[in-house]
């Protein structure tokens, strides 16, 4: 009989929590990726969503597990700690690079310094005019593996993602 892996169990809980948001009608799932990379035998699952009718801000929650985690779990390797990496990404537009400070302060307030927060700014170059807006990619990384012991934290994690997404929509107005 098939025994689901840590990755499988976490993916199901995460997917259910985000699709519950979609069913509420306040949020819309805009993309989903469920990938097995055969060259490295790694797995990736990500789900992207936005607030219904509230701008261009998107949130993405991603899980990733490599072959070493899968092998350690399936072979029950002693003294190993298999798990998944979790990353959360937000994409939104800003008018000025200085707006990153407001985003950073808001995220520090919401997340209380738990994940590390990184912002990457990009724009489409046009030699004829200055950019009118910049795409701000905000990445939250937890810098440790998660396992099924953290599954009960997923509803609270998704709630923090929702609050962050709503705050970005407010800042983008």
pTM (2 decimals)? 0.92
Q: In this predicted structure, what is the pLDDT of residue 51? A: 95
Q: Sheet harboring 116-122: ordered strands across? A: 27-37, 42-51, 58-65, 85-94, 134-141, 116-122
- Which of 116, 125, 122 is closest to 137 using CA atoms? 122
Hey, what are 119's tokens? 């912002």
Q: Can you tell me the distance from the alpha carbon of 13 to that of 6, in angstroms, rounded to the nearest whole number? A: 11
| pLDDT values of the chain reduced to their tens digit, one per residue, 173 residues | 467 899 999 999 999 999 999 999 999 999 999 999 999 999 999 999 999 988 789 999 999 999 999 888 888 888 889 999 999 999 999 999 999 999 999 999 999 988 999 999 999 999 999 888 999 999 999 888 999 999 999 999 999 999 999 999 998 87
- CA 2 to each of CA 71, 74, 146: distance values in angstroms, whole numbers, following the listed order: 15, 11, 22
Give residue 37's pLDDT: 94
Would you state the pLDDT for residue 114? 85
- Predicted confidence at residue 15, as pLDDT, reads 96
CB-CB neighbours of 90 under 10 Å:
22
Q: Is 65 helix (H, G, I), strand (E, B) or coil?
A: strand
For the chain, give the number of residues: 173
pLDDT value at residue 1: 47
Domain assignments of the chain as residue spans, ordered by start: 6-171
**How far is residue 63's CA from residue 145's CA, in Å, rounded to a whole number?**
10
């Amino acid at each position: 009989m098939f025994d689901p892996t840590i990755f499988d169990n976490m993916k199901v809980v995460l997917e259910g929590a985000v699709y519950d948001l979609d069913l509420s009608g306040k949020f819309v799932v805009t993309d989903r990726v469920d990938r097995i990379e055969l060259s490295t035998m790694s797995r990736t699952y990500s789900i992207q969503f936005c607030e219904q009718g509230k701008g261009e801000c998107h949130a993405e929650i991603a899980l990733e597990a490599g072959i070493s985690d899968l092998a350690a779990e399936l072979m029950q390797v002693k003294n190993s700690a298999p798990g998944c990496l979790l990353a959360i990404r937000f994409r939104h537009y800003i008018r000025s690079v200085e707006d990153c400070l407001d985003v950073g302060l808001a995220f520090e307030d919401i997340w209380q310094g738990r994940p590390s927060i990184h912002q990457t700014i990009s724009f489409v170059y046009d030699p004829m005019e200055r950019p009118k807006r910049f795409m701000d990619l905000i990445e939250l990384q937890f810098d440790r593996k998660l396992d099924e012991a953290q599954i009960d934290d997923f509803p609270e994690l998704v709630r923090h993602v929702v609050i962050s997404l709503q705050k970005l929509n407010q800042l983008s107005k």
